[in-house]
Structures are given as C-alpha cells and as structure tokens.
Amino acid sequence: MAGTDSSLPLVLAPTPAIILCEPQLGENIGAAARAMANFGLWDLRLVRPRDGWPNEKAIAAASRADHVLERVRVFETLEEAVADLALVYATTARSRDMQKEVLGPEEASAAMAAHIAGGKGAGLLFGRERWGLLNDEVAMADAIVTLPVEPAFASLNIAQAVLLMAYEWRRQSEAGRALPFGGGLDEAAPRQELVGLFEHLEGVLDQTGFFTTPDKRPSMVNNLRTALTRGRFTSQEVRTLRGVISSIDRRHERPNPNRMKPAGSEPAKE
Amino acid sequence: MAGTDSSLPLVLAPTPAIILCEPQLGENIGAAARAMANFGLWDLRLVRPRDGWPNEKAIAAASRADHVLERVRVFETLEEAVADLALVYATTARSRDMQKEVLGPEEASAAMAAHIAGGKGAGLLFGRERWGLLNDEVAMADAIVTLPVEPAFASLNIAQAVLLMAYEWRRQSEAGRALPFGGGLDEAAPRQELVGLFEHLEGVLDQTGFFTTPDKRPSMVNNLRTALTRGRFTSQEVRTLRGVISSIDRRHERPNPNRMKPAGSEPAKE
C-alpha cells in the first residue's frame, strides 16, 4: 500500500534488536527490514547469513528501508550478536521441551518496552526459514515468544513473524497506537437543514402522487425521515441531495415549464 | 517458522472475506493466502487479477495453504465481489478526502466480529501493489481501515497488510488469543531441597577457603542464597546443581582421595 510521507523524519528511538539466525534467503532479510521499518524498528542483526552480506535480493525486497539496511550488523556467532543485550526472547512456532516461560507477542512486547524504558537492550531471535531456531539457540533466551496462530497452519514466514512482533512493539506506546491519519466525518447538518430536506422532498412527492392515500402519508413520511436521518448527512450533503431532488423534479416539470414550483424547492446551493 | 500440526483439522468458521482488487503479482496473492491461513481466514476473492487465475507463482508462495487457494473466487467487478456482504471496509495507507470513518485494525476487527456473530457477511478490501485502492472502490466501503504504521515508512506489502488484519481478527475471540502451546515452567523445588543445595555448596566452600574471614561468611552466604533463589530451580535442577558441585569438589579432592568429604556433599541423585 502506498502512503509513505518521505518528508517526515525517521526517528531512531531505542527499540528491540531483531536477530536473524542463519537466514537463508536475501528476500526474507529484505522483507524483514521493510517490516521493521513499517513499525519503527531499525536494529537488524544477522548471524551467518547463508548468502553473505550485503545481498542484492535483500536490498530489492526491502523496498527502500535503507535506514535499516545501512545499519545491519553481521556476526559469526549468536553469542556475539546478543552480547550487549540484557533481555533476549526466542521466537518459535514449536513447543520445546525446556524450562522456559512461553509468552505471547503482546506480553513479550510489554516486557521489552519496560526493559528498554529502563535504558537496557532487548532483542528477539528468529530462526532459519526451514527449521527455525536450534535448541541451543533457544536455551540462550530468557523466554520463548510464540504467536496465536491457527495450530493446523502455524508455519509463518520469517518476515511476517518479524512484522507481527514489530507491530506489537509499536503498539506498546500511546504514540505508536496512533493512526497515521484521522477519521473523516464532518459534523452532521443542524436539524433544521435536515427538516428543510424532508419538506422539500415531501413537497415534491405530494406533486408526483407518491403518497397513494392521505391516510398513508404520515407513516410513509416517518419511514422516509427515519431512513434519511440515519446517514447523519453534513450540510454539504443536504445541499447536494436537495439539488438531486430539484433536478429530478425539474425533469418531470419539463412538459410545463410555467407550472408553479412546489413549496420549499428553491434550487440547492451547489 | 515450522510448527504446523497437519494432524489437526482445519476449521472453516465464518470469517471476513479478503478481497484483493486487481492484484498484480501472484507471489502476493499466495503470500496473502498463507497469511490468511495462519490466522484462520479462508474466503479469498480476487477482482481481475492481472496475471489471471489459477497462478503458479501464487501456489508456490502460499506454501500449502491449499484450503484457501481451492476456495479462491475471481470476479470481473468489485460490485460482484462484495455483492453478498453487508459490511465492507477499505484498507488504505493514504488519507482520502472522503466523508468516511477511519478505523484501526483492532476496532475494525471488533466491529466485523460483532457483525459476523449476527450471521452477516463482512469483507476487507485491499488495493493494488502500486497504488492501492481507487477512490471509487473506497467509496463503496462502510469505513476506511488503516494501520498504525511509522508515517515516514508507511508502505506495507499487501500480504503483510492482510496478515495484520487476519491477526487482529483472530484475536477477537478468547480461543483466537490462545497460544498454540503453553508456558513450560515446572514447579520450583520445595524449599528444603533448595536449603540442601545451599548447605551442600556452603559446606564445600568452607573446605575451599572461599569465605575469606568468618565474620564475612554470613553476608557472603546471604548473597549466594539470594542469587541462587532467584532462578526458582526445579527439583531436577537442584539435583543437577548438586551434582555439579560434587563433581568440581571431587576434582579438588583428587590429590588426596581418602580425605573426608565435607558435610552435606552426598553425591547428587542424577
């Protein structure tokens, strides 16, 4: 989806590090970098990327998340990659027979947010495309993080796992939950304008014989007013709708242009 | 990430339809299908897919989300694609100058959940890779849904936008929030076993001269006990640690195998 505002400055606030262990495909590294950028993460660390670094396919897949790619650090061992971090979580879709707490993305993000707010480093480990993290890598983590996926179809692409964690991370702050643009409803028109619309319409319908019998008129009017009230039309929309009524009405008048206009059908101010 | 349990039945509960308008790349259609499957969605509708349908690249990218691909429906117009739906939201990363409410993924999912619980159909529109939805497509929707992205890097891949909406949809139900496997901490050992470990260790340290002076011993013991209590060791872990202590201790004894063992260092039950 388009929508990036390049005029806005990128803020590199303290965020969790994303550590990919032996990623196989450059496309996935690039897609992970893009997912991080979408939600304000920027510290990407690679442990022994299979195809080396830098990687052309990663750059292509990152779709201009240059501020992340430029900062990528490559490590020979996981130990080096997490050396500066005091809180490390391992993401996995498989239960491991380990004495480790298992957290969901939200509680893990909340814990990382509190930790990082304390000025300390936190990181999330992601495993290989084929078989995820090794048990000796998971053993290095403080806890396991897993996603509430459909158990019958739990296999998540790495970049998508990174995306969901980045999304939950960003949602930890008030500012992060804010939408990039706001809700767009103008105020509904003052009731008198709505009544003006009703009377205009009903006046025209009196001429066209819409109200089959006088005794039916009140209930038919109520039903029309009920339906037309629900839309909470703005003043502009009320003017437009009156223009619509007048336009249709005038067509019916064409045979006799000198006929009196029905009350309340002054031309709409478009 | 691996972890799919193919023995589990796929449940096709009522869910929102995902409608892709003129998707350009088969890879994205397949990745969207996979993302839907991860979070229990299955109703995928395509409006004029550029490369036609079925699409080999989509099948490859779906990584066996066959139950979604098999049910894909292709439509000539958006009107046909949403004909049976009573609630339609348009996803966009761009603000549109329209009289439409703008919702976040969570409130949109909550509204769709309530609507679908009432037995009615709901759907989410996603636009083209290049320029998203056209205004006349957005105009067909009840409201706009946008994601709380980093405004300076708001461009989200379609499959990832689908993933986040599917994730939030699934989280609307108690069952959906459940993690595929549980937290793994066994109960901490009864305190007497922990005290046994402490006394074992302290007894050995009395022999090794770790406690430099008798007056320092109490505080040093307290510090050790404090550190070792925090781990909330299980009975098995306590036994393992006592084995560790005995093993190190015995190495120190080697020069004189007949020396008395220090009190409390009975061999650990491994």
Report the CATH number that the domain containing residue A212 is assigned in CATH. 1.10.8
Report helix, strand or coil for B256: coil
Based on the fold, state whether residues A62 and A196 are members of the same structural domain.
no
Cβ atoms of B34 and B6 closer than 8 Å: no
Interface of A with B in 241-260 (CB under 8 A): none
Q: How far apart are CA A267 and CA A269, in angstroms?
A: 6
- The C-alpha of A163 sits at a distance from chain B's nearest C-alpha, in angstroms, of 7
* Statement to judge: residues A223 and A173 lie in one domain: no
pLDDT of residue A26: 96
Q: Are residues B126 and B241 in the same domain?
A: no
Q: Which of B153, B185, B241 is the mutation pick for testing A, counting most A CBs within 10 A? A: B153
Q: A246 lies in which domain range? A: 191-252
Which segment, A218-227, B8-17, B109-118, B204-213, is predicted with the most confidence on average? B109-118
Q: Which residue of A has its CA nearest to B65?
A: A153
What distance in Å separates residue B15's CA from the closest CA in chain A? 13
The answer on B140 and B40 residing in a single domain is: yes
Does B104 touch chain A if contact means CB atoms closer than 8 Å?
yes
Please judge whether A99 and B237 are an interchain contact, meaning their C-beta atoms are less than 8 angstroms apart.
yes
Chain B interface includes A267 (CB < 8 A): no
Which residues in chain A are contacts of B159 at CB distance < 8 A? 160
Q: In this predicted structure, what is the pLDDT of residue A255?
A: 56
What is the rounded radius of gyration, in angstroms, for the C-alpha atoms of chain B? 31
B73/B115 same-domain check: yes
Residue that wins the pLDDT comparison between A97 and B267: A97
pLDDT number for residue B197: 95
Q: What is the rounded CA–CA span in Å between residue A189 and residue A234? A: 5
CATH code for position B128: 3.40.1280.10
- How do residues B144-167 score in pLDDT, each as one tens digit? 999 999 988 888 999 999 999 999
A8/B131 CB distance under 8 A: no
* A265 has pLDDT over 60: no
Cβ B148–A163 below 8 Å, yes or no?
no
Backbone angles phi, psi at A88, to 5 degrees: -130, 125
Judge whether A38 and A1 are in contact, CB under 8 Å: no
Q: Does A212 touch chain B (CB under 8 A)?
A: no
Number of domains in chain A: 2
Three-class SS state of A124: strand
Q: A7 in a domain, yes or no?
A: no
Question: d(Cα A75, Cα A56) in Å, to the nearest integer?
Answer: 19
Note whether A197 and A166 are same-domain residues.
Answer: no
- What would the mean pLDDT of A135-150 be, rounded to a whole number? 94
- Range with lowest mean pLDDT among A3-7, A229-233, B135-139, B171-175: A3-7
In angstroms, the CA B51 to CA B29 distance is: 11
Q: What percent of chain A has pLDDT over 90?
A: 68
pLDDT at A75: 98
Positive or negative: CA dihedral B168, B170, B175, B181: negative
A184·B92 Cβ contact <8 A: no
Which of residues A146, A177, A208 is at a domain's end?
Answer: A177
For B237, nearest residue in chain A (alpha carbons): A99
By the 8 A CB rule, do A65 and A118 touch? no
Q: What is the mean pLDDT of residues B197-212?
A: 92
pLDDT band at B12 (very low <50, low <70, confident <90, very high): confident
Chain A: closest CA distance from residue B91 (Å): 9
**pLDDT given for residue A96 in this prediction:** 84
User: Residue A155: which of B3, B94, B126 has the nearest Cβ?
Assistant: B3
The pLDDT of residue B148: 93
Residue B169 lies in a domain: yes
- Residue A10 belongs to a domain: no
- Average predicted confidence (pLDDT) for chain B: 89
Chain A nearest-CA distance from B164, in A, is: 7
Q: What's the average model confidence in pLDDT over A105-122?
A: 95
Chain A residues inside the 8 Å CB shell of B95? 180-182, 184
Is a pLDDT exceeding 50 seen at residue A264? no
Q: How far apart are the C-alpha atoms of B7 and B182, rounded to whole Å?
A: 19
Domain boundary among B177, B207, B231: B177
Tell me, yes or no, whether B108 and B225 share the same domain.
no
Q: Which residue of A has its CA nearest to B173?
A: A148
Tens-place pLDDT, residues B209-218 = 899 889 999 9
What is the gyration radius of the CA atoms in chain A, in angstroms?
31
Residue A267 pLDDT? 47
A8·B148 Cβ contact <8 A: no
Q: Is residue A22 part of a domain?
A: yes
Distance, in angstroms, between A201 CA and closest chain B CA? 23
Residue with tokens 């220090």: B262
Please check whether residues B125 and B156 belong to one and the same domain.
Answer: yes
Q: What is the mean pLDDT of residues A242-249?
A: 89
Q: Could you tell me whether strands B122-126 and B87-91 are parallel, antiparallel, or unpaired per DSSP bridges? A: parallel
> Smallest Cβ distance to B4: which of A5, A37, A154?
A154
Task: From B9, B7, B96, B82, select the one nearest B47 (Cα to Cα).
Answer: B82
Distance CA(A38)–CA(A10), nearest Å, equals 11
pLDDT of residue B92: 93
pTM value surpassing 0.90: no
Q: Cβ of B176 and A91 within 8 Å?
A: no
Helices vs. strands in chain B: H and E counts, helices first: 11, 7
Q: Considering the domain boundaries, does residue A48 fall inside one?
A: yes
Cβ–Cβ contact A57 with B under 8 A: no
Q: Is there a contact between A6 and B152 if contact means CB atoms under 8 Å apart?
A: yes
> Measuring CA to CA, which residue among A112, A152, B151, B218 is closest to residue A104?
A112
Same domain, A214 and A143: no
Q: Are strands B102-103 and B143-145 parallel, antiparallel or unpaired?
A: parallel
Report how far apart the first and last C-alpha atoms of chain B are (Å, whole number): 35
Mean per-residue pLDDT, B42-62: 96
Question: Distance from A63 to chain B by nearest Cα, in Å?
Answer: 9
B5 touches chain A (CB under 8 A): yes
B253 falls in which pLDDT band (50, 70, 90)?
low
Whether residue B5 lies inside any domain: the answer is no
Contact B179 A152 (CB under 8 A): no
Q: What is the mean pLDDT of chain A?
A: 89
The answer as to whether B50 is a domain residue is yes
CA dihedral B134, B138, B139, B144 (to 10 degrees): -150
Same domain? For B151 and B201 the reply is no
Cβ of residue A89 closer than 8 Å to a chain B Cβ? no
Distance CA B263, CA B260 (A): 9
Do B215 and B144 share a domain, yes or no?
no
On whether residue A78 sits in a domain, the answer given is yes
Alpha helices in chain A (DSSP H): 26-38, 56-61, 66-69, 78-81, 105-117, 135-138, 158-170, 174-177, 191-208, 217-230, 235-253
Least confident of A28-37, A236-245, A251-260, B257-266: B257-266
Same domain, B21 and B65: yes
Distance CA A35, CA A44 (A): 11
The CA distances from residue A60 to A32, A33, A56, A163, B153, in Å, are: 12, 11, 6, 18, 16
